[in-house]
Each structure stands twice: as C-alpha cells, then as structure tokens.
Amino acid sequence: MSLSFETLPLTIIFLLPGFFVFYTRQFLYPAGQQKLETFPLGLLSLGYSVIISLVEALAGLGVLRFFQVDASVFLRDLPSVAQSYPLVTLTVTLVWVLIGAGLALVLGIWDPYLYLLRRINQKRRHFDTDIWFNLLEIERRIQSRPTVVVATAHMKNGDIYSGYLKEFDLQPDDNGTRDFILYQVFFCPGNEANPCLRPARLGQTSYVLLNTRDVQSIDVIFNIGNEGNRH
C-alpha cells in the first residue's frame, strides 16, 4: 500500500502508540536509554505498534460480535457504516483509543519482555541502568518508611559537601555529567586552615548545586526514619 494523503492518517494512528511507548520509557528511564537514530527508532516503534494494534483489533472484533455486526461489512465502507451503525462505530472507536493509549502507557512503564531481559542481566550481574537511577529504585522500595538520602560529595579540589540529596538530573549531559542539589549543607573546605561550616552556621535551608564533573567520589547513606536535625 503506497503512502498517500488518504493512508497517511491511518499510518500515523498505527505508529503513534509505538512512539508513545518509546518516549514514555525514555522519560521514565532516561539513564537506561540510548539515543537512537531515525531508522532504529522507527523499527522499535513499529514493533510496539504491531503488538498494540493486534490487541486493538481483537477488542474491536469483540465489540462487533457483541453488537452482532459482520466485521467484513463494517470494514468494507467505514463512512456508510458509521451512518448505519453510529453506536457501534462510536463504541469501537472508544475501545480502540482507550486500549491503544492504555497499552502504550503500560508498556512504557512496564514492558514484560524488557523486565525478563533485565532479570536475566541481574542474575549475570549486568545492569543497564546507572547508579543514579538505582538510587531512585532503592528509595522507592523502602517508601513505606520515611526515607532521606544523605550524600557526601568529595570534590576534586579537596572540598567536601554533605547534605540531603534534594534532586538530580535523570538525563545526563552528552559528556556523561549531571547536576545534583544538596540541602542542609555541611561544607568542609579543602584548605584545612579554614573551619568547616555546619548547617546551623549556613542555615537549615542552605542549598548547593554541584556537577559530577567536579566530583571525585560520592558517598550515599539511606537514612530510614525522621530526618532530625543536622548540627
């Protein structure tokens, strides 16, 4: 079937769920995604679209069988069928849209095939997500109790920053670095002649914006319970 102005809307409708799956996953799991060129992205989206379209087609056939409408008649001339069976057409359209959007969202959040591959990789001690994203996973698993993440950044110039990890960029820059924010900061300068500054001195609302390109190493502690006071 050649691509024309008549078939273009159908092509877009067919491919749109696959692109939605990909970009949902890229947004939620940016650290584990690689930048894809146009051709691989098209193949990936096409694969998801085929799966979703098969489920949509089965659901549509179920609706037609429920209303006792012949599928071949329904698909032969959609404009005239829409006039003859408005309720059936509306129901099939709603089911098609809801299932397409729902499956795209589900596959974007949790893909059973990708989950199986990750389980296999974990058993082999191979991980496709970086350590920063794993911080979120660990925090999510222990959310039943109040949890804060205390991070200590040892800078390349010798300075030390310690505080509660407020947020960080899920998507690293092109060079692999990313920004992160600490609050209630404890600061100890590399020059030992200068005293360390505690949160009580800097202020309980003190923040510092750092970039991993300036960091030598980072220590992370999960503090389960109340934050308490850091003096």
* pLDDT tens digits, 73-109: 777 776 777 777 788 888 888 988 899 888 888 887 8
Cα atoms in the 13 Å half-sphere on the side-chain side of 131: 8
Indicate the pLDDT class of residue 194, thresholds 50, 70 and 90: confident
pTM: 0.50
The pLDDT assigned to 8 comes to 57
The secondary structure of 103-149 as a DSSP string is HHHHHHH--HHHHHHHHHHHHTT--SS-HHHHHHHHHHHTTTS-EEE
> What are the residue boundaries of the structural domains of the chain, listed by start?
8-121, 131-224
Nearest-5° Cα angle at 226, 221 to 228? 90
Give CA–CA dist 228/201, Å, rounded.
17
In this structure, what is the dihedral angle of CA atoms 208, 209, 214, 215, given to the nearest 10 degrees?
60
Q: Does the pLDDT of residue 58 top 70, yes or no?
A: yes
Give CA–CA dist 124/206, Å, rounded.
42
Kindly state the average pLDDT of the residues 13-24: 77
| Fold entry, domain 131-224 | SH3 type barrels. (2.30.30)
* pLDDT tens digits, 143-188: 555 556 788 999 999 999 999 888 888 777 878 788 999 988 989 9
Strand order across the beta sheet in which 179-188 lies: 207-211, 179-188, 160-168, 147-155, 215-224
Position with higher pLDDT, 83 vs 2: 83
The pLDDT assigned to 210 comes to 94
